[in-house]
A = this chain, B = another copy of it.
Amino acid sequence: MFDSANLDHRIDKATFQREERKLREELLHAQYDIKENGTFPVVILIAGVEGAGKGETVNLLNEWMDPRHIRTHAFPDLSDEERERPLMWRYWRALPPKGSIGIFFGAWHTEPIVLRVQGTISRRELGQYTGEIQRLEKMLIEEGVLLVKFWFHLSKDQQKKRLKALEKDPKTAWRVTDLEWKYFKRYDKFVKVCEPFLRETSTGEAPWIVVPGMDPHYRALTVGRHLLTAMRARLHPKAQKANRTAMPPVQPLLPPADRLNVLRALKLDRDMTRKSYARELDKWQGRLNLLTRDKRYKRLSVVTVFEGNDAAGKGGAIRRVTGALDARSYHNVSVAAPTQEERAQPYLWRFWRHIPRRGRITIFDRSWYGRVLVERVEKFCSEADWMRAYSEINDFEQQLADHNVVLVKFWLAISKQEQYKRFKARELVSFKRFKITEEDWRNRKKWDAYEIAVSEMVDRTSTAMAPWTLVEANNKYHARIKVLKTMVAAIESGLKRMDGKP
């Protein structure tokens, strides 16, 4: 893996200066072309051994290109904000929008490698991390991100020489601390861990580029030329086109042969009188409120998703939930068409940004499931896009669940007749008229297509860690109480799981 990098690569100063002049001009052009093109972002990963010139290279990239459109992110120890959310949250937060460049100085690769070198995790456990990273990078690439990964390498002798040289020079001596020498002692172990890791996370679309770090000229030219070639290749009209045709072909899904699905199996009419509703509401709102004041509650967070037919009563149900909560402890996110800022990011970005800290609740009124519902039915995205969304969503929710996020997902279901009744009623009541538009009537015509989409969504994303609850909602009272009860049960079992955990 490091055979070439261990060689004594050198570029003399004159050659470097001549090459550098051309290179920086071309890099700047490519950067502006990407900005103008505006269809993809560039993420540059900088990783590798200590003392191999990572920092110098990042500075150089910022010097060569227009730094106003580059954002460099280092990822030091986790902040409070970050610790209280899944690990990947910090990287999602840092993703550059389409048309711009993000330099990630250390990223999702760092932690697993460090943990393995320390011996905290086993080789097989590292394999689990590797799988997660492969899926994350696959998703980024499928979302159009140009991912360029540089691994800075020094042989053991070279690293020793570099550290000594840095130590000797008063201007750089501060950079060599005991920590650097501690790392040096682990050199062999480090390389032994990194080599298979690099191998398994190298793909045709995002190969690791191993950069020999000893000679500053050689190292700089290597990074610059690779980056330029990758950007140019991606700007090429052929690549731009290729990226839009999905491959390999997606396998079509079919509705059940007997047309029976989870929605049709529901008994939508459930009785509940106003009187018993009032009693139950009191009871379950009280229990919910009590739970959020449990000590253990501060160590988990809650994400609630409300999806459902138009006019199924999502808003009403949400109000009954928030009515039981301290206003400082929850956050309502109403999902509509994406903003310009959100359109410039991978699909899940706009949901990641709303993931709550510990001890808090986020309530999504419509959610990331839009991709496999409205976007699928209305053909706002390609079949390949919504098909891959199932596994991306499952990965996303797995990360939440792994981080003690209690996920509660509701589908509020009403019958086609009930919907008609409610639409008509809304048209009659002036203060509710804003709630019924032409679009609602149009959606209604696609009832069957939505039914199939919902049923497949439940089949492919209802999981033990994040189950869907289907709510029979022809009777609003019944629906609201079922929502509250389900939330209470989910949070209770979340709290129980916290027992004995730090």
Contacts and interface: CB of A to CB of B under 8 A. Distances in A.
A148 to B, nearest CB: 7
Interface string A460-488: 10111100100000000000000000000
Contacts of A5: 459
A205 B19 CA distance: 44
A19 B259 CA distance: 14
Contacts of A127: 124-125, 127-128, 131
Contacts of A260: 7-10
A124 B134 contact: no
A239 B249 contact: yes
Contact of A248 (B141, B253, B256, B388): B141
Contact of A1 (B9, B19, B230, B463): B463
Nearest to A206: B251
18 contacts: A4-B262, A7-B265, A10-B260, A124-B128, A128-B131, A195-B463, A199-B463, A205-B251, A207-B387, A210-B459, A221-B257, A225-B257, A229-B252, A239-B249, A242-B248, A243-B248, A246-B247, A247-B247
Nearest to A394: B199
A4 B261 contact: yes
Given A131-B134, A207-B387, A261-B4, A252 B230 contact: yes
A249 B243 contact: yes
A8 B264 CA distance: 11
Contacts of A222: 256-257
Contacts of A19: 257
A396 B460 CA distance: 31
A195 B464 contact: yes
Interface string A210-245: 100000001001100110011001100011001101
Interface in A300-345: none
A262 B10 CA distance: 14
A200 interface: yes
B251 A4 contact: no
A203 interface: yes
> Which one of A2, A238, A256, A384 has the greatest number of beta carbons of chain B within 10 Å?
A256
Contacts of A175: none
Contacts of A148: 251
> Which one of A19, A124, A225, A463 has the greatest number of beta carbons of chain B within 10 Å?
A124
